[in-house]
A and B are shown apart, each in its own frame.
Chain A
Amino acid sequence: MAKTYHFKVGNGDMSLVELETGRRILVDINIRGGADDEDDETPDVARQLKDALTRDDQGRLFVDAFLLTHPDKDHSSGLEKHFHLGPLTDWKKTDDKIVIREMWSSPMIFRRRSKKHNLCDDACAWSKEARRRVQLFRENGKLDNGDRILVLGEDVGGKTDDIEGILIKQGERFAAIDGIEEEVFEALLLAPRSPADDEEEDVLSKNNSSVILQMRLGAGGKEDAAYYLFGGDAEVAIWERLWNAHKDAPADLAYDVLIAPHHCSWHSLSWDSWSKLGEKAKVSDDARNALSQARAASVILASSCPIADDQNDPPCIRAKREYEGIVGEVKGEFKCVGEIEGDGPLVIEIGKNGPKLMRVTLAATAAAATGIGTEALAHG
């Protein structure tokens, strides 16, 4: 049984993929300050994540791989506080930080900080650690435990030409996690594509540089028990481009579980502004096509705050309706992680019959603590 966890991080992303073999891939984090404050009502997602992880023979919590789709705050918050950065020999028991065995990073790490390319502290820390690992590879031609990295996508100007051994190009598939091939896992890198020139590089925002990955997960003896599509905050231009590139092979975009891009943002589906045009805003057919390769009974998750019928974007009510339409055609379901009862993550179990949402038990809900109470069951 494989599992995925989708943590309640408001308008942000944080998912943990647990393979049947026990290996774990973390996709983005958004551990906000409030989550670390026990007096704050923000769910303590760091604790939840740690509870889902195991320790190595040195007593260190670890993830086998950490995919940062793009270096934005709502995808990287809490990195420095909760993750070990630097050589493994510097890890301290007292800090008890999580070891990232292999980083999966976009080539944005090679960009210089600029007006257009401003990074939060956690994103800077990610870039610094990624560059440390790339440098080690450049020096030694190989990487040891705790130093591994995959760069997902080529950078402009041949900046990544000398790191072929750790580079995954757009359109390539890979099945190795931290250097070990997995039968129950394969990923297809759909984006980012290499900018054609410096001008395009400048134009590409951080959002549109997001890594887009289709993951195949095997479980219960079925090698394609589930497909997941992670797309960071990629916007309509990227999805249009993807549809045009893959419309002859739409299986490349197929999913059983889609993390709705950019926290259920309208801008992933349309060039129009929802707040300005309202219902007059038009959907881009190509972007919608790219995002509607839903397999039977698939699930679209909005990793966002609860979605209200208002002008907000993200999350956008109009985008929700569009996604509901997509899953409606395949007897699927749309779920907003922020609307799930309780503080715990939304959990999906994957067996041979495909993904199954784990129900929220009564004990995890507020109803269990609002005056109904329990009595000790006695025996006479």
Chain B
Amino acid sequence: MSGKNEGPKVLPVAVSRALRQAAAHPSVRGLSVTYQSEDWTFAKIIIHTELPAAWRAAGESPFGVQVDEEVTIGLRKDFPLSAPWIVLRKDFPRFHPHIQPDKPDNAVRPCLVNGSPREVVQGRGFIGLVEQLVEWLERAANLDLNDPTAGWEPVRRDTIDDVVACDADKLRGRVTLEGGLEYWFNFYIYYSKSDTYKLLLGSDPTELKPYTGTLISRSDEDDPGGTGLGLTAWAGLKDGEAFVASFYLPETVENVGELLFRAQLYGCRSELEIGLASLRDTLVANPTTFRFPLLVMLLPRRPYALVGSNSNIEICPYLIDVEPGQNFLDLTTPVRLVAQRETINSGLLRRTSRDTANVPTLPWTLIGCGSVGSKIALHAARAGRAPSILVDRGYLDAHNYARHAAIPYGAADRLFLRAKVDAVQEQISKLGQSAAAVMKDAIELITDVAQREALATSDTAMVVDTTGSLVTREALAHTDWAGRPRIIEACLLGAGSLGYLAREGKGANPSISDLAAEIYRRLAEDPETAKVVFGAEAEEIVIGQGCSAATFPMPDSELSLLSASMAQPITRWARDGLPVSGETRIGRTDGNGGLHWSVVEEAPWIEVAGAGSNMPKVRIHPRVHAAIEQDIALYPGVETGGVLVGRFSQIGNLFQIVDLIPAPPDSIRSAHEFSLGTQGLKAAAMKVARETGGALQVVGTWHCHLIPSGPSPTDAFAGAILSIRQYVPALLLIHTPGGYSTLVAEAVLEANEVTADSKAEEGQ
């Protein structure tokens, strides 16, 4: 900075402090204020870079960094609210990556931080920024600013004319080891005032046909738009190995001749020449009467992955502004430099979401596009792993917008009902992904074989049920469906204060229905939780509401807290597939922004077939099975038994046993018979029903036989007695050394048989 010093002689306090800090840095060998005005203070600092002996003897590194580098720092009077201005000498070599784009005759500005230098000054002090500068110079001295751990820095371009948006992952995915070229259409707008093209690359390459030239277009507007052509070219093998452009070169291409030379350095000159010649021939056959943009994208292979990517393919776009009748193969034809921007696509979203696994999303279905479902769908979509099928038969009503992920964007949305599936599908589509919207009753799709394809295809990895509908859960769990994908259930419980996420085990064992029975037992263990989940408020059914799931008043932030947590594993499963085991998760909010999840792995259950084809099956939690075996071991040589706690699924026609009540003390155990006592039993049974709001009940009894055998006449009599005490079938589970057998009795009465006597019997 030249010019005499003006203005105050006293430095602003913050500026003075910053310079004092800079001087304290161990690598700073000198500091002097060189210019001062009302607004700015400039200082030169000498930064010492440690070099190996051979370079130190030469005074500088082979990559142009001197042992003692002079750096100019400019600090504005409002520093640290404004960022410091840091420049190197004008003749500092510009071939290094991480240098700010600028005109060649301007001072070189190093790119010191990935983000805002002003934030670094606030977070680490000015000396922290000097540390970055010291580190930058040290790495530049070794030509090491391209760091394999951080990634290859794309070629620096001092001046950019135009911008193209494309799905970088998709483009890179098309690069083959054989080398090649592809043709593309692009859609463009040309801004006359700023002489700038903005282009969108077509979604797929096109074949060059004799008529391709006729598809090029340009509108007549002030800022004309239309369809242009594009070409990608990449290198193949060299000496049997993939051609790698392992050198870093700044961008200097200005004409077609230099572009061809650049393609040569990247190993794809012949591909580019063939492509350009073919395009020229097409245009000779179909000459245009207007200018159009010809986009050329070289795709060099780098030695390691680029910054922020897991691909080593760099995208280097150029543009030839083709005039009517112009032979653009003339080596002096000007070439414009184009910046590549990402379109919104799943690859970009995954990388931004720290998902570096380069694997496609497994197809998955979301049933229920309400508040929880839409949130989970959008979290997954923002992570680049959207569901592929959406199912919901409902419409968005005004109150839904309090918590739904979709926002009404026009008067039509606010005035008319909009299908929930359509709203979610549209959001997913805007995030560069696609999902089929199925506006039907899920139960119908589950139970009707002909319609099932709309719900899940043969490769569907999971079906996520967010309906909160008990019927949907039971239908999913119990419908006879060969090859059914595994079910995930995600919903809120206890008027929205708990999140519940369950994952079926392999082979649907445990099933989503088993897991619900188990979670009822576990929730009942804590009186406070039980009160919230099974209490009157949560169980209230609003008359006239008519939807499958009750709507609880709760703020969106709280619902989001729970649904965001549930979206995390679901998104991961959509990437990695489901683990073998089953799992349940319960999330509890504390009403103050806090959230705690408990996660339990769920082992397979034991299934006991029904005695006849229509007789109920029994499914037993492995913990209950272990408890029965333990009780038998406790009473060797005699029959023992107890009371079964669980639920009966009407849709599944099966019992699910999750707990036992020990035999009352007046029970009699003998070698020939187990006689269940009654002392305290009624109270214990009532307690179970009370604590679980009736979700779990006493559903029968169990006892053991000492030899493998079926139910005895005594058992049958006992079962009959038991059955008339309850409104669901009564279960007698018999444990023998050869396994379980069952006896189920049910008192089914004709309408005219309901008498005062039988009611009296039940009431005892």
Where the two chains meet, the residues of A that have a C-beta atom closer than 8 Å to any C-beta of B are 226, 256, 295-299, 330-333, 341, 349-351, 353-362, 365, 367-368, 372-377
* 4 closest cross-chain pairs (CB), A and B: A354-B53, A372-B125, A353-B52, A297-B56
Instruction: Indicate if the CB atoms of A375 and B123 lie closer than 8 Å.
Output: yes
Partner of B56, one of A331, A341, A359, A362: A331
Instruction: Indicate if the CB atoms of B26 and A355 lie closer than 8 Å.
Output: no
Instruction: Indicate if the CB atoms of A297 and B125 lie closer than 8 Å.
Output: no
For A374, the chain B residues whose CB sits under 8 A away are: 123-125, 128
Instruction: Indicate if the CB atoms of B134 and A359 lie closer than 8 Å.
Output: yes
Chain B interface bracket (under 10, 10 to 19, 20 to 34, 35 or more): 20 to 34
Q: How far is the CB of A339 from chain B (nearest CB, A)?
A: 11
Q: How far is the CB of B296 from chain A (nearest CB, A)?
A: 37
Question: 9 more A-B contacts (CB under 8 A) besides A353-B53, A362-B131?
Answer: A331-B56, A341-B26, A351-B52, A362-B26, A362-B128, A365-B26, A372-B124, A372-B128, A374-B128
Most chain B CB neighbours (cut-off 10 Å) among A297, A349, A376: A297
Give Cα A338 to B50, complex, Å: 18
Closest to A373 in B: B125
For B52, the chain A residues whose CB sits under 8 A away are: 349-351, 353-356
For A256, the chain B residues whose CB sits under 8 A away are: 53
Give Cα A361 to B50, complex, Å: 12
For B395, the chain A residues whose CB sits under 8 A away are: none
Give Cα A355 to B50, complex, Å: 10
* Given contacts A330-B57, A353-B53, A359 and B138 within 8 Å (CB-CB): yes
For A358, the chain B residues whose CB sits under 8 A away are: 50
Find residues 43-61 in chain B having any chain A CB closer than 8 Å to their own CB.
Answer: 49-57, 59
Q: How far is the CB of B55 from chain A (nearest CB, A)?
A: 6
* Given contacts A296-B57, A356-B50, A375 and B134 within 8 Å (CB-CB): no
Instruction: Indicate if the CB atoms of B57 and A297 lie closer than 8 Å.
Output: yes
Does B25 interact with chain A (Cβ within 8 Å)? yes
For B59, the chain A residues whose CB sits under 8 A away are: 331
Instruction: Indicate if the CB atoms of B124 and A359 lie closer than 8 Å.
Output: no
For A331, the chain B residues whose CB sits under 8 A away are: 56-57, 59
Contact with A along B29-50 (1 / 0, CB 8 A): 0000000000000000000011
* Given contacts A360-B26, A367-B21, A353 and B55 within 8 Å (CB-CB): yes
Give Cα A360 to B27, complex, Å: 8
Give Cα A341 to B27, complex, Å: 11
Q: How far is the CB of A328 from chain B (nearest CB, A)?
A: 13
For B57, the chain A residues whose CB sits under 8 A away are: 296-297, 330-331
Instruction: Indicate if the CB atoms of B119 and A377 lie closer than 8 Å.
Output: yes
Give Cα A297 to B24, complex, Å: 26
For B130, the chain A residues whose CB sits under 8 A away are: 362
For A373, the chain B residues whose CB sits under 8 A away are: 125
Partner of B127, one of A330, A341, A355, A362: A362
* Given contacts A359-B134, A362-B26, A372 and B21 within 8 Å (CB-CB): yes
Does B678 interact with chain A (Cβ within 8 Å)? no
Give Cα A91 to B337, complex, Å: 68
Partner of B24, one of A349, A357, A359, A367: A367
Q: How far is the CB of B18 from chain A (nearest CB, A)?
A: 10
Closest to B67 in A: A331
Q: How far is the CB of A278 from chain B (nearest CB, A)?
A: 30
Contact with A along B357-369 (1 / 0, CB 8 A): 0000000000000
Does B122 interact with chain A (Cβ within 8 Å)? yes
For B51, the chain A residues whose CB sits under 8 A away are: 356
Q: How far is the CB of B133 from chain A (nearest CB, A)?
A: 11
Give Cα A361 to B59, complex, Å: 22
For B27, the chain A residues whose CB sits under 8 A away are: 359-360
Most chain B CB neighbours (cut-off 10 Å) among A341, A353, A372, A376: A353
Instruction: Indicate if the CB atoms of B54 and A353 lie closer than 8 Å.
Output: yes
For A295, the chain B residues whose CB sits under 8 A away are: 53
Most chain A CB neighbours (cut-off 10 Å) among B27, B53, B55: B53
Give Cα A352 to B333, complex, Å: 45
Give Cα A362 to B131, complex, Å: 6
For A365, the chain B residues whose CB sits under 8 A away are: 26
For B56, the chain A residues whose CB sits under 8 A away are: 297, 331-333, 356
Give Cα A354 to B57, complex, Å: 11
Instruction: Indicate if the CB atoms of A357 and B50 lie closer than 8 Å.
Output: yes
Closest to A367 in B: B24
Closest to A375 in B: B123
Give Cα A331 to B52, complex, Å: 12
For B125, the chain A residues whose CB sits under 8 A away are: 372-374
Give Cα A296 to B59, complex, Å: 11
Some 29 contacts from A to B, beta carbons below 8 A apart, are: A226-B53, A295-B53, A299-B53, A331-B57, A341-B26, A349-B52, A353-B55, A354-B53, A354-B54, A355-B53, A356-B53, A356-B56, A358-B50, A359-B26, A359-B27, A359-B50, A361-B131, A362-B25, A367-B24, A367-B25, A367-B26, A368-B127, A372-B21, A372-B124, A372-B128, A374-B128, A375-B124, A376-B123, A377-B123
Closest to A340 in B: B26
For B25, the chain A residues whose CB sits under 8 A away are: 362, 367
Give Cα A365 to B28, complex, Å: 13
Q: How far is the CB of A241 from chain B (nearest CB, A)?
A: 29
Give Cα A96 to B680, complex, Å: 63
